[in-house]
Structure 1
Amino acid sequence: MPSSVRPRSALQEALGAAVSCEVAGDPTTLATHSTDASNYRHVPLLVVRPESAEDVTAVLRVCAEHGAPVLPRGAATSIGGQATNEAVILDFTRHLNRVLEIDTDARTARVEPGLVLDRLREQVAAYGLTFGPDPSTHSRCTIGGMIGNNACGSHSVAWGKTVDNVRALEIALRDGTRLEVGPTSPDELESLCAREDSVGQLYRSLRALRDEYLSDIRLGFPKLPRRVSGYNLEYLLPENGFDVAKALVGTEGTCVTILSAVVDLVPSPVSRALVVLGFGSGIDAADAVPALLDLPVLTMEGIEMGLVQALDARKPGEESKLPEGNAWLYLETGGESAAEAVENARRAAERADQVGASVLLVEDPVAQRKLWRIREEGAGLATRLADGSEAWSGWEDAAVPPERLGQYLREFDLLMDEHGRKGVVYGHFGDGCLHVRIDFPLAAPDAKQAYRAFLTDAANLVVAHGGSLSGEHGDGQARAELLPLMFPPRLMTAFAEFKAAFDPGNGMNPGRVVDPAPLDADLRTVIAPPVLPTRSRLALHADGGDLAAASRRCVGVGKCVSAVSVSGGMMCPSYRATGKEEHSTRGRARLLFEMLAGDVITDGWRSTEVRDALDLCLGCKACKSDCPVGVDMASYRTEFLSRHYDRRLRPMAHYTMGALPRWLRLGAPMAKAFNAVAASPLSRVIKRLGGIAAERDLPVLASPTFRSWFTKREAPQGSGGRTPIVLWPDTFTNYLDPQVGRDAVAVLEALGYEVHIPARNVCCGLTWHSTGQLGAARRVLRRSLDVLQPWLERGVPVVGLEPSCTALLRKDGAEVLPDDPRVRMLGESVRTFAEQIGEAGLPEVSSTEDRVITQVHCHQHADLGYDADTRLLDSVAGEVQVLREGCCGLAGNFGFERGHYQVSVEVAEHQLLPALRAARPGTVVHADGFSCRTQIRQLSEHEPAHLASLTARALGCVS
């Protein structure tokens, strides 16, 4: 904390007295706000979540009185370090997030700074309009953050940077003064300068700055479309209308706080098409750019093989369909009709021969979306190289004139080789802007020296090509120190005077752009190394068994805090329900990082802050597949719970639901008596003692169990010589829903299989694993492997019916028992029911269900894939609506645990329950997960069915 700042407690007390909104200084909030998406870490003084413009100005006044720096902040996806500082953070993500006015005639909208870009685009889409700039974080980045950073995005070829799309700003100065700024006529400027208040002083200073540095401003900026570095002083020139609003775009919160903005809207193409050109290398793609710049395209984006391989590795079976090559250019076209968009695309495709490229023209919107996913998730995908090593930001968005891109890339590759560095290049090739994450040795003893040496050499290289240190992400702490290499001394002085005109006391986000902090200071891996042992109990293969590396896997790109549903995404259900950062995957990863560092979170594995944040983690695993970086918070949660409750009493739910298979096995012989008690008033006592939510109905024990039915039934005639398979009798099917197992047996035997079940009770250990009881999980899984071993050695398929158990057998078993070779054999043998039916081939049947709504189980989404299920559903049903954007909310034991019921329901309200309420009469609800079916039964009037039951009905072989 700067020496001039009064103690945090006094500041918090003063702010609490001045505003009615949240003023937070607890360890959880400080930890979750200690960094952005950059390499830097600064623990904030406090975090304030203003609910009105009056709150903002009150906070500014109090902070000025206390000498406390202020940082206005949006979604904190900034990569340069401009959204982290030892300051009072004004967090705009909760409030001040509305569209205030839409003027369709002027094609403008007035918006508050906390508004998420996609929310704006949703609201103006009804008028055929959109906001042009569209960074890859469009589902969570705020308009205020975009203005602060001068964000661009993939469509800047058509619609420019944010600065090109801002009309006016309502701002607050450091002393709380509010004013509206924008273009200023000479008469208006004279009038403003004549005022005898802080506004008059501001405009007099700006006018004097313009007059003093007129020629420097006109001559000192490089001529290229993607110059984001430095301040936009050119907009103070007479020929640019003395536009103070545009001059403030890209100032990174160092000058003012934005209260609202008037932004331009542009017509959105009715239809789009995509041309993909394939090249031998990224350099070849860059060389082709000048020959393509005259095409009528909306985008010209470049990607390399490394990104494609990273995404394909995360989604096996869903490999990206691209034309031949090792690097590609995306050329998107638009039109007032599909025919016009395709015609424009054909014009682009015809250039393929001229530039020596292979070509693919994509008309289908779904196929386009799949290809765009590679590009949009680049910032996350590039954080791990092919060998598993970590790659970092810092020099990730330099820009040069597009016609020099190929030569710059050649020399940049040589520079990487000289420094012994690797990285995957992608970016906005049409604007000459390259993105790359580099394997800086930030965990090595020479981290700072290596980082500084490379960035200095890279800055000199880009300046030599007439480029900009930043072409999109801003200067922040990563590049501001290097600005004197790009700008002459007088222009650097002009930057300082510009900031001083708005912020004479240097209280707005200090240490950025002007008087910058050193680029190699405050690197989070250097200043916050782990003080706890980080070797994990789970294997954590993706991070070499190192929990510290796992906690660093999250780089803060923030897909988990998306304000809108991301197509095909389920992450992060608890954040969607609560809106609290600590309940996002990103927030939890930061808490784990700070716990290991021991500074902000001081109780180590006993931390209540980490425990409470993870308490609302559903263990859905959606982050494992939906997070661009592959953060596996469900596994980290298991690891934490294992250590947090070492030699300590656990919550009662861990003893009851965590050991559910044991209790069901003991209770099965007394099913009738148990069910009678569960339906009586005594159930309240059982739930209270068992840590179960009072609002929940206890499940009904089945009699007979699936195993009992299977062992007593008569074997089908003529079963000899059939192909053997093992059907896994999971706990939920066996004790609670045996009809699913019976239907599965009927279908598999109808298709010619000889169905077996293990000779003794088996269990995957899921419930012990999810509650962090790893010792028990290992024992249970090892016993089951003993039973299965003869089948595994023969290569007999093991078919699972419950997705969560099937996923553990296929994937997580290797994390639990990494040294047992039978786990690998098991993973290779496991099939989902749909996969096994797909191998057998289902005979042609008539659809027995006209319309089906399908709730995809989270673990199937994350670990197993759903293509085989989709094909089978299409065979046995008519119209199928697949729900892919939300967890059911029950999530194993989560929704049953006391204190979780309301969140469980709110999660279900994201997509599942609205879809059920909107379903037409006669619609069949399909859900393979027992938890999903239980949630549906308890929160709706529907009786859901398993895919095995739907298939049995279609074949007419219901058991």
Structure 2
Amino acid sequence: MSLPAAFLAAVERLIPRARRFDDPLSTLAFGTDASFYRLIPQLVIRVESELEVVDLLKLAGNHQVPVTFRAAGTSLSGQAISDSVLLVLGENWNGREIRDQGKQIRLQPGVIGAQANAVLAPFQRKIGPDPASINACKIGGIVANNASGMCCGTAHNTYQTLAGMRLVLADGTVLDSEDPLSVTRFAASHAGLLEQLAELGRQTRANSALAARIRHKYRLKNTTGLSLNALVDFDQPLDILSHLMVGSEGTLGFISAVTYDTVPDHPHKASALLVFADVENCCRAVTVLKQQPVSAVELLDRRSLRSVQDKAGMPDWVKGLSASACALLIESRAASQSLLQEQLALIMASIAEFPLEKQVDFSADPAVYNLLWKIRKDTFPAVGAVRQTGTTVIIEDVTFPIEQLAEGVNRLLALFDKHHYDEAIIFGHALEGNLHFVFTQGFDDPLQVARYSAFMDDVTQLVAVEFGGSLKAEHGTGRNMAPFVELEWGADAYQLMWQLKRLLDPQGILNPDVVLSADPAIHLKNLKPLPAADEIIDKCIECGFCEPVCPSKGLTLSPRQRIVIWRDIQAKQRAGIDTTALERDYRYQGIDTCAATGLCAQRCPVGINTGDLVRKLRARDAHNQRSADWLANNFRRAMQGTRVLLHVANGARLLMGAPLLSRASATLSKASQGRVPQWTPAMPQPVHRLQLPATTGDQRPRVVYLAACVSRAMGPAASDAEQMPLLDKTRALLEKGGFQVVFPDHLDNLCCGQPFASKGYAVQAERKRQELIDALLKASRGGLDPIYCDTSPCTLRLLQDGLDPRLNLHDPVKFIREHLLERLEFQPQDKPVAVHVTCSTQHLGEAQGLIDIVRHCTSQVVIPEGIHCCGFAGDKGFTTPELNAHALRDLQSAVQYCEEGISTSRTCEIGLSQYGGIDYHGLVYLVDRVTRAKH
């Protein structure tokens, strides 16, 4: 049913056009979350204030328009999709307030969970919930789903650590439980609602059978249905209301702020992996460990271990485990090292009677610790990586009473066999009896849907009826379990949930068919297709873990959305549907504005680099082969031409003045659709002459200096306090460190190939890369001398496609760390320095190394939050400047107290200087300034 015209007209007056989306590309992109359901919203609105939410809910109520709220869209059960109006959190929901030395924190719903913990870290505190998606999911979703995690259990979830809440009801009324005036006003305006909540609480507590059932259900991890425990745990209606909102999945109201009582984040930790001969002994050990000082106990069945046994870094012994083996990954944390050792002794003594097939003793060594947790974390993506194209990965989430855990595991395994889910695995949070089971499922065949339906009927009967467990422990009810809420809870509790829904949302406009649904088959409808699109992305499960690090998210599309749209284009083409308009929009939204830096692959559970797809699509449209060949063959001339253009631009600055030139070039760049670069005050001056010294043949150790093409062409900006070109500064620093600097022959004609590769000219890129490798082999005397590359993207380009093993290549961070720190004496400065860790530095594994080197240079290191990629992306800062501007929109406020910024890529530094309002330089400038040679 179409949205009412009067509603749409009112929304147009309320929300700017830039934050309203109703075109086919945008609605499909936003209509996808991490679940295996899909609804396409008719209208998506990016909301930026509580007042907008209030006004929109009033409009929705007046016109009977259903509304759904979306934070990060990482939920798995279909909670955050709509075929009506989808309200998506914008950027202005990122507020946080630390109280009482971190013992409390007030957060707006747009704060990512990991960001909340980052600001609490100096106080050795954290929020209680610790979902696996904490690096991507937002507080709004964590609260609305009552998310928990590996260490959270039932004691530290949002419900148990809630200290206060600000919410908006369906009628648009705002209530802040921490504001006495707000409470007084609400008590006056909604006295009837509060009295009904209080009465429902009294009736529930007076019904001894129902109250006992509720208490029993919440002894377990449980997110099935609404939080009925609010009615037995509290007698004050405001407390009942705020706790009902926890886990309500946007069906009772909008959460605009939450205050947590935080929990200790102990700095000392150790983990062990114990492998038992069978499920029974493994689960018996869990009941013993429940009484011990453990922070996490993760169960992995033999199928889980088998799914990761062939991965790089996995111990060989995993392959040799028996068919019935079952493992526990145990972690303990403490405030001191001595207390930790005491705890570990207690833990091992408690389970000494259990025979073990294999064990990795408790270790605090990061290498061992991280390997053990990698085994656990790789299980889910391991199933996703081997699934058949066109199928999806489903991760279910149930709880058995811990005393029946072994029988529950074995019964689930039997159901896998019965329904032929041969690839299914089981792992989970054993201390709470909370098991996740992962399997692959196709929905493009009625027989497959019927198989899934039969399997879910069996699972729900097993868990909810036979064992009295929870059908959802932490992933939320959503659409997935809505038809089975009554089966788990019984008629009385189920009707009580409906009473609460009708009391708080009498028109039924908030997220209909989620948690509670009158449709018994809602879990089998609107199932999401995952059609084949390209082998690069076919393994994508659309979880959205990639989105926080994408520089174009919020400007155009995120990596998840790029994949969603490309899948749709391919499916439509196979069906004979014209995709001309969709592809035209995708050209800018999906291809032109992608930085293609590959940070998404670092966050992706199955390692997908969406940038690889974009480069492939660019190659498909790369029709200027002759020009690319000319450029590859005449690279020296191109370098000279670049210097000439920079010289002309600098002359224009002197003639016209910076403000006039900036405005004129912006107009010209826009008119040329990015073909003419936009001049800014951060634009480099040319490196006038490339004068390289002859090799002296002295006795100092040699280093081959590979100066990137940007370093050979681009000097500092005219306004920069540093006026020495990077090439000269680097050479001076290397010589200060006692090295003889050698340059490859014909340097000005050399290139790593990155400019060609990024435009889709793979042949020319590889040719230039091979030319450079040959020159480096010669200059380094067959690999005898180390090679220093002054730009991290070029270093990565040479390494990621397989470098000749004879060559010993370093980016600036690695060379300074390995060769210069010991040769230089540091005299740190007091001034704060901003650090930008480039995408390539992250890929090279040198992010911490860069930060550590800057800490040698200054006691005040500033790392701007939330800026993972600057979006300059080689030349995108010139041709698509809006990407660079969007990626760095919050930079200036983050670095306002700094006088200087440090990075390892000259082009990145152009954009960083422009949008940070301070000069950004290569790392060598800072190191040179604060060091002298050791005698």
TM exceeds 0.5? yes
Per the alignment, residue 583 of structure 2 pairs with 606
* CA deviation profile, 1:641-661 (whole Å, cap 9, x unmatched): 345x566x99xxx999x9976
- The aligned runs of 1:499-578 (5 Å cut-off) are 499-514=501-516, 515-516=518-519, 518-525=522-529, 529=531, 534-535=533-534, 544-545=535-536, 547=537, 549=538, 552-556=540-544, 558=545, 560-561=547-548, 571-575=549-553
Q: Tell me: CA distance 1:227–1:387, structure 2 relative to 1, closer, same or farther (3 Å).
A: closer
516-525 or 81-90, larger mean C-alpha shift = 516-525
Distance in 1 (CA, whole Å) between partners of 2:814 and 2:483 is 61
Matches within 5 A, 1:235-384: 235-237=230-232, 243-261=240-258, 263=259, 265-268=261-264, 271-279=267-275, 283=279, 285-302=282-299, 327-335=327-335, 337=336, 339-351=338-350, 353-356=352-355, 358=359, 360-362=361-363, 370=370, 374=374, 381-382=381-382, 384=384
Cα deviation, 1:891-924, whole Å, max 9, x if unaligned, reads 32122335348617827938995696378xxxxx
Q: Which amino acid aligns with 2:223?
A: V
Q: AA paired with 1:415? A: L
1:451-492 deviation per Cα after TM superposition (whole angstroms, max 9, x unaligned)? 333333333332333321111011112222333543434544
Q: More displaced, 379-388 or 41-50?
A: 379-388
Which one-letter code corresponds to 1:944 in the other structure?
Answer: G
Aligned to 1:147: 143
Structure 1 partner of 2:618: 641
Q: How does 1:869-908 map to 2 (within 5 A)?
A: 886-887=868-869, 890-897=872-879, 899-900=881-882, 903=885, 906=888
Distance 2:847 2:49 in 1: 47
User: Is 1:79 aligned with 2:68?
Assistant: no
Distance of 1:340 and 1:956 partners within structure 2: 42
Q: Percent identity?
A: 19
CA distance in 1, matches of 2:813, 2:891: 33
Change (3 A) 1:604 1:157: same
Specify the code of the residue in structure 1 equivalent to 2:352: D
* CA–CA distance in structure 1, aligned partners of residues 890 and 254 of structure 2: 37
Give CA deviations for 1:700-727 in whole Å, capped at 9, x if unaligned. 2463476xx7xxx5695999xx99x998
Distance 1:553 1:129, change over 3 A: closer
Deviation at 1:887, TM superposition (A): 4.0
Report the Cα offset of residue 693 of structure 1: 1.9
Q: Residue 157 of structure 1: CA displacement?
A: 3.4
Give secondary structure in 2 for the equivalent of 1:91: strand
Does structure 2 retain, via aligned residues, the 8 Å contact 1:385–1:391?
no
Closer, same or farther in 2 for the Cα pair 1:875/1:129, shift >3 Å? closer
Equivalent AA in structure 2 for residue 433 of structure 1: N
Deviation at 1:292, TM superposition (A): 0.5
Unaligned 5+ residue runs, structure 1? 183-187, 536-543, 562-570, 814-823, 920-924
* Alignment check: 8 A CA contact 2:569 2:583 kept: no
Structure 1 residue aligned with 2:429: 428
Give the letter aligned to residue 559 of structure 2: T
Contact 1:100 1:112 in 2 (8 A): no
Q: Following TM superposition, by how much is the alpha carbon of 1:290 offset from its aligned partner in structure 2, in angstroms?
A: 0.6
Count of residues paired in the alignment = 872
With over 3 angstroms needed to count, the CA separation of the structure-2 counterparts of 1:770 and 1:729, relative to structure 1, is same
2: CA distance, partners of 1:115 / 1:912: 16
| One-letter amino acid of the counterpart of residue 228, structure 2 | L
| Equivalent position SS for 1:459 | helix
Q: Does the C-alpha gap of structure 1 residues 665 and 363 become closer, same or farther in structure 2, counting only changes over 3 Å?
A: same
Q: d(CA) in 2 for partners of 1:86 and 1:662?
A: 55
Distance in 1 of aligned mates of 2:105 and 2:813: 54
Tell me whether 1:803 sits opposite 2:764 in the alignment: no
1:620 to 575, 588, 597: 597
Q: Structure 1's 158 and 479: CA in aligned 2 closer, same or farther, altered over 3 A? A: closer
Q: Which residue of 1 aligns with 2:823?
A: 846
TM-score of the pair, normalised by structure 1: 0.74
Within the candidate set 233, 246, 254, 2:228 is matched to 233
Amino acid at match of 1:347: L
Is residue 215 from structure 1 mapped to residue 212 from structure 2 by the alignment? no
Cα pair 1:671 1:703 within 8 Å, conserved: no
**1:134 and 2:130 are equivalent in the alignment:** yes
Say whether 1:929 aligns with 2:905. Answer: yes
Letter in structure 1 aligned against 2:222: R
| CA distance 1:746–1:204, change in 2 (3 Å) | closer
Other-structure match for 2:723: none
Task: Give 2:522's aligned amino acid.
Answer: P
Indicate the RMSD between aligned Cα atoms, in angstroms: 5.7
Residues 391 and 437, structure 1, Cα contact 8 Å, conserved in 2: no
- What is the Cα deviation at residue 379 of structure 1? 8.8
Q: Deviations over 1:600-653 (max 9, x none)?
A: 99546733255135544333322222444423132233234345x566x99xxx
Pair 1:163 & 2:159 matched: yes
Letter in 2 for 1:481: P
Q: Is the 8 A contact 1:857 1:932 kept in 2?
A: no
The structure-2 alpha-carbon separation of the partners of 1:934 and 1:164, relative to structure 1 and needing over 3 Å to count, comes to closer
Q: 1:781 and 2:781 equivalent? A: no
Matched ranges for 1:725-804 at <5 A: 731-732=709-710, 763-771=751-759, 774=760, 776-782=761-767, 785=770, 801=789, 802-804=791-793
Distance 2:775 2:163 in 1: 73
CA gap 1:833/1:843 in 2 versus in 1, 3 angstroms: closer
Deviations 1:580-609 (A, max 9, x none): 274543444444445445599954673325
CA–CA separation in structure 1 for the residues paired with 2:792 and 2:200: 64
Question: Is the deviation greater in 899-908 or in 785-794?
Answer: 785-794
**Deviation for aligned residue 1:502:** 3.0
Q: 1:255 to 1:77 in 2, by over 3 A?
A: same
* Correspondence for 1:665: 636
Letter in 1 for 2:899: R
Q: Does 1:697 align with 2:717?
A: no
Q: What secondary structure, in the 3-state scheme, does the structure 2 residue paired with 1:157 have?
A: coil
Partner letter of residue 665 of structure 1? R
- 8 Å CA contact 2:737–2:824 kept in 1: the answer is no
What is residue 944 of structure 1 aligned with on the other side? 922
The CA distance in 1 between the partners of 2:795 and 2:385, in whole Å, is 29
Alpha-carbon distance between aligned partners in 2 of 1:43 and 1:85, rounded to the nearest angstrom: 6
Task: Pick closer, same or farther for the CA change 1:633–1:851 going to 2, 3 Å.
Answer: farther
Q: Which range moves more in the overlay, 67-76 or 158-167?
A: 158-167
Take 1:241 and 1:671, find their aligned partners in 2: how far apart are those partners? 72
**Change in CA separation of 1:597 and 1:252 when aligned onto 2, cut-off 3 Å:** farther
CA distance in 1, matches of 2:515, 2:855: 60
Q: Please tell me whether the aligned partners of residues 691 and 898 of structure 1 are also in contact (alpha carbons under 8 angstroms).
A: no
- 8 Å contact from structure 1 (residues 214, 237) kept in 2: no
8 Å Cα contact 1:733/1:741 also seen in 2: no
What SS class does the counterpart of residue 353 from structure 1 fall into?
coil
**Equivalence for 1:403:** 403
Distance in 2 (alpha carbons) for counterparts of 1:99 and 1:878? 28
Given that 1:855 and 1:883 are in contact with CA atoms closer than 8 Å, whether structure 2 keeps it comes out as: yes
Q: Does 1:632 align with 2:609?
A: yes
**1:655/1:498 Cα in 2 relative to 1: closer, same or farther (>3 Å)?**
farther
**Secondary structure at the counterpart of residue 680 of structure 1:** helix
Structure 1 residues 409 and 898: CA distance shift in structure 2, 3 A: closer
SS in 1 for 2:272: strand
Query: Residues 483 and 878 of structure 1: is their aligned pair in 2 closer, same or farther, counting only changes over 3 Å?
Result: closer
Larger mean CA deviation between 236-245 and 433-442 belongs to 236-245
Amino acid at match of 1:165: T
Do 2:151 and 2:295's aligned partners in 1 also have CA atoms closer than 8 Å? yes
In 2, Cα distance between the equivalents of 1:913 and 1:235? 44
Aligned partners of 1:851 and 1:880 also within 8 Å: no
CA distance, structure 2, for counterparts of residue 704 and residue 181 of structure 1: 67
SS at match of 2:87: strand
Change (3 A) 1:61 1:331: same
- Contact 1:47–1:91 under 8 Å retained in 2: yes
Aligned to 1:11: 7
